[in-house]
Amino acid sequence: MDQVKSLKEEIRLKFIEKRNQVTKTEREAWSVSVCDELKTLIGLHRPSVVHSFIPFGSEIDILPLLQNCLDANITLVIPKILKKPFMQQVQITNLHDLVVNRFGTKEPTSENIFRGRIDIVLVPGLAFSTDGFRIGYGGGYYDYFLANQKIPLKVGVGFPFQLVENLPHEDHDIPLDLLVLGDSVIEVAGT
């Protein structure tokens, strides 16, 4: 088990470095592609509720897509980090109602807790495998959240170079259904 954790940490560091090397121009181009693919996906699935991370640092920028969801009257739910491994689900109506938390990520200022059904969840990651597993930042927040929700579509979001054949995973890791990496939509093997 400790070997898996150690291997995951090596992968984290490698992919953070790779992601940090993406130029501003490349990041902008990939972000537009991802937003276009997600917009098409949302158009096909017609969700009432989308749950999403708010990008930070060198992550892919999906804020234009999130604004598009708000403009289309899709309920947008954003996580607020609580004591590990819990996230509170908060509905927002404006992307400007966010503050930087203790981890350096943005979270809602609203207290409008969402307790309804989520149709699609957009999940960040540092690396994604073809069988739907991901390596995040190591807090376990998304695995705990996904394990305790019935969500029809779990979508990993990132850059094309974040896709690998296999990743180490543990029993508590929850696989995703679909990956949107750059201009590629990848159906996860076995879903």
User: At how many degrees (to 10) do helices 63-71 and 24-45 cross?
Assistant: 30
- Condensed to tens digits (0 to 9), the pLDDT of residues 92-107 reads 999 998 999 888 889 9
- Is-contact 153 173, C-beta < 8 A? no
Task: At 141, list the tokens.
Answer: 């927040």
Query: Domains of the chain by range and CATH?
Result: 2-187 (3.40.50.10420)
Edge-to-edge strands of the sheet including 153-158?
A: 87-92, 75-81, 49-52, 120-123, 153-158, 178-181, 184-187
Q: What pLDDT is recorded for position 105? A: 87
**DSSP-derived 3-state class of residue 176:** coil
Compute CA distances 47 → 86, 141, 176, whole Å.
24, 23, 17
Q: What is the pTM assigned to this prediction? A: 0.94
C-alpha–C-alpha distance, residues 122 and 124, integer Å: 7
- Condensed to tens digits (0 to 9), the pLDDT of residues 159-182 reads 999 999 999 888 888 899 999 999
pLDDT for residue 191 is more than 60 = no
pLDDT for residue 1 is more than 70 = no
The widest CA-to-CA distance across the chain, in whole angstroms, is 46
Across 52-80, average pLDDT: 96
pLDDT band at 189 (very low <50, low <70, confident <90, very high): low
pLDDT for residue 190 is more than 70 = no
**DSSP-derived 3-state class of residue 37:** helix
- Is-contact 150 115, C-beta < 8 A? no
